[in-house]
């Protein structure tokens, strides 16, 4: 997907020009993948725009940094204010927001403890992520997700995405939109950049954090919405074959939002169409993020930006 540029990028407390946001090739992150980052969406609203779950995303970035002993010298509130300042200065909505903190330039060797930490936030327009308008055709990957006690999957770090890249490339080369990885024990884990949900007999299932998944903020939102709708929710280890016999399946994620799966390994999920539970959750999710329904969960941070696209459920 080609990157569409905007005017400014936030860097260590200041807005700088997009083209000036550059790093040295000898920065630690380039060699050792030492970055923690986030991905957020800012949605169009009937009267402006709003960032979805800003505090939760910035909190997860600080959590990722803590796991990796990376000192980020900005507080949660400062990072949230920085994202708002950036989005308003660039005047682009809807958009995707990418905060990143990484080990910068000045030290060589694996040990990151004395390498400086740089923080940037960028934003840019970004549309649909998982291809397929009538549902995604996906596969089970031959690659496993990260094993416990190797790379922590609750940390959203650059290095983890080498595993995601293997999953995503293999899927695309074999003609699928996305891959679902199993964990090291052969249980369902998640997509290369999405959590997975299955529905069988009206019960909504998702894989727990112990199956090497990222603690997805959209996943948490889906669970909240489902519980409020009275849909029974089960978080448990799921065998691979559940995806072949479930009635409905969907991905959740900031990029993927709520994307229904039409088939897995060329086996139709249900009759291939978006089923009733997925449809209800999908509708509610978009009604909230697009400001059509009230923000009863306090998920939205308004930003003063004229919207470029009409709001639709
Ligand atoms: C590996 C992985 N799993 C799940 C998700 C979904 O997380 P969220 O809903 O917070 O975007 C993402 C996206 O960040 C991801 O990269």
Task: Tell me the pLDDT of the chain (313 aa) as tens digits.
Answer: 888 999 999 999 999 999 999 999 999 999 999 999 999 999 999 989 999 999 999 999 999 999 999 999 999 999 999 999 999 999 999 999 999 999 999 999 999 999 999 999 999 998 766 666 689 999 999 999 999 999 999 999 999 999 999 999 999 999 999 999 999 999 999 999 999 999 999 999 999 999 999 999 999 999 999 999 999 999 999 999 999 999 999 999 999 999 999 999 999 999 999 999 999 999 999 999 999 999 999 999 999 997 766 555 4
Ligand 1 closest atom vs CA 218: 9
254 lines ligand 1 (CB under 6 A): yes
Asked if residues 129 and 255 have their Cβ atoms less than 8 Å apart, the reply is yes
Cα 276 to averaged position of ligand 1 atoms, centre (Å): 24
Burial of 284 (0-12, 13-18, 19+ CB in 10 A): buried
Cα 115 to averaged position of ligand 1 atoms, centre (Å): 27
Per DSSP, the residues of 245-308 read H-SEEEEEETTTEEEEEEEETTEESTTSS--HHHHHHHHHHHHHHTTSS--TT--EEEE----S
Cα 64 to averaged position of ligand 1 atoms, centre (Å): 13
258 lines ligand 1 (CB under 6 A): no
Cα 254 to averaged position of ligand 1 atoms, centre (Å): 6
The position carrying tokens 């939002």 is 257
Predicted confidence at residue 265, as pLDDT, reads: 98
Cα 249 to averaged position of ligand 1 atoms, centre (Å): 16
Half-sphere exposure of 46 (CA within 13 A, CB side): 9
If phi > 0 it is left, if psi is from -120 to 50 it is alpha, else beta; for residue 107 that is beta
In Å, how far are 174, 204, 272 from 201, measured between CA atoms?
31, 9, 16
Ligand 1 closest atom vs CA 255: 11
The dotted CATH code for 8-124 is 3.30.470.10
Determine the Cα angle at 9 with ends 16 and 158, to 5°.
130
DSSP 211: G
In Å, how far are 25, 90, 115, 290 from 125, measured between CA atoms?
27, 11, 32, 16
- The domain limits of the chain are 8-124, 136-289
Report how far residue 227's alpha carbon sits from residue 230's, in angstroms, rounded to the nearest whole number. Answer: 5
In Å, how far are 49, 87, 111, 216 from 253, measured between CA atoms?
19, 21, 32, 7
Report how far residue 194's alpha carbon sits from residue 254's, in angstroms, rounded to the nearest whole number. Answer: 8
Mutate to test the pocket of ligand 1, among 43, 196, 221, 254 (most ligand atoms within 8 A of CB): 254
| Catalytically active residues, by annotation | 156
Q: Nearest residue CA, atom 7 of ligand 1?
A: 216
Cα 195 to averaged position of ligand 1 atoms, centre (Å): 6
Predicted confidence at residue 130, as pLDDT, reads: 63
CB atoms within 10 A of CB 13: 10
Q: Nearest residue CA, atom 4 of ligand 1?
A: 194
Q: Nearest residue CA, atom 14 of ligand 1?
A: 193
- Domain 136-289 classified CATH 3.20.10.10? yes
Tokens linked to 4:
């569409």
The position carrying tokens 């993948």 is 33
218 lines ligand 1 (CB under 6 A): yes
CB atoms within 10 A of CB 306: 10
Of 63, 69, 61, nearest in space to 114 by CA: 69
194 lines ligand 1 (CB under 6 A): yes
Report how far residue 27's alpha carbon sits from residue 273's, in angstroms, rounded to the nearest whole number. Answer: 47
Residues in contact with 121: Cβ distance below 8 Å, sequence separation at least 6, in sequence order:
9, 10, 79, 82, 83, 86, 97, 98, 99, 100
The position carrying tokens 């009733």 is 276
CB atoms within 10 A of CB 200: 16
Q: Nearest residue CA, atom 15 of ligand 1?
A: 193
Q: Nearest residue CA, atom 2 of ligand 1?
A: 193
pLDDT in tens, 207-232: 999 999 999 999 999 999 999 999 99
Q: Nearest residue CA, atom 6 of ligand 1?
A: 253
Of 145, 138, 122, 134, nearest in space to 3 by CA: 122
């Amino acid at each position: 997907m080609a990157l569409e540029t905007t005017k400014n990028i936030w860097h260590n407390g200041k807005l700088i020009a997009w083209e000036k946001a550059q790093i040295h090739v000898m920065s630690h992150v380039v060699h050792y993948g030492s970055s923690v980052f986030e991905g957020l969406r800012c949605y169009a609203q009937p009267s402006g725009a709003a960032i979805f779950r800003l505090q939760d995303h910035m909190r997860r970035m600080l959590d990722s940094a803590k796991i990796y002993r990376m000192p980020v010298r900005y507080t949660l509130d400062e990072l949230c204010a920085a994202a708002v300042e950036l989005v308003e200065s660039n005047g682009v909505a809807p958009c995707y927001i990418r905060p990143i903190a990484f080990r910068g330039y000045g030290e060589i060797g694996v040990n990151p403890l004395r390498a400086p930490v740089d923080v940037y936030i960028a934003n840019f327009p970004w549309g649909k992520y998982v291809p397929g308008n009538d549902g995604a055709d996906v596969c089970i990957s031959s690659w496993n997700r990260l094993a416990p006690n190797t790379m922590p999957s609750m940390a959203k770090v650059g290095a983890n995405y080498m595993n995601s890249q293997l999953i995503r490339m293999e899927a695309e080369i074999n003609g699928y939109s996305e891959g679902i990885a199993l964990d090291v024990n052969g249980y369902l884990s998640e997509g290369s950049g999405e959590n997975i949900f299955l529905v069988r007999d009206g019960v909504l299932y998702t894989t727990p954090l112990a199956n090497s998944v990222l603690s997805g903020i959209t996943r948490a939102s889906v669970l909240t919405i489902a519980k409020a709708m009275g849909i029974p929710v089960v978080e448990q280890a799921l065998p691979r074959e559940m995806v072949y016999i479930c009635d409905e399946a969907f991905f959740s994620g900031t990029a993927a939002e709520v994307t229904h799966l039409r088939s897995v390994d060329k086996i139709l999920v249900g009759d291939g169409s978006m089923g009733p539970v997925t449809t209800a959750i999908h509708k509610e999710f978009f009604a909230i993020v697009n400001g059509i329904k009230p923000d009863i969960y306090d998920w939205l941070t308004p930003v003063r930006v004229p919207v470029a696209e009409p709001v639709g459920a």
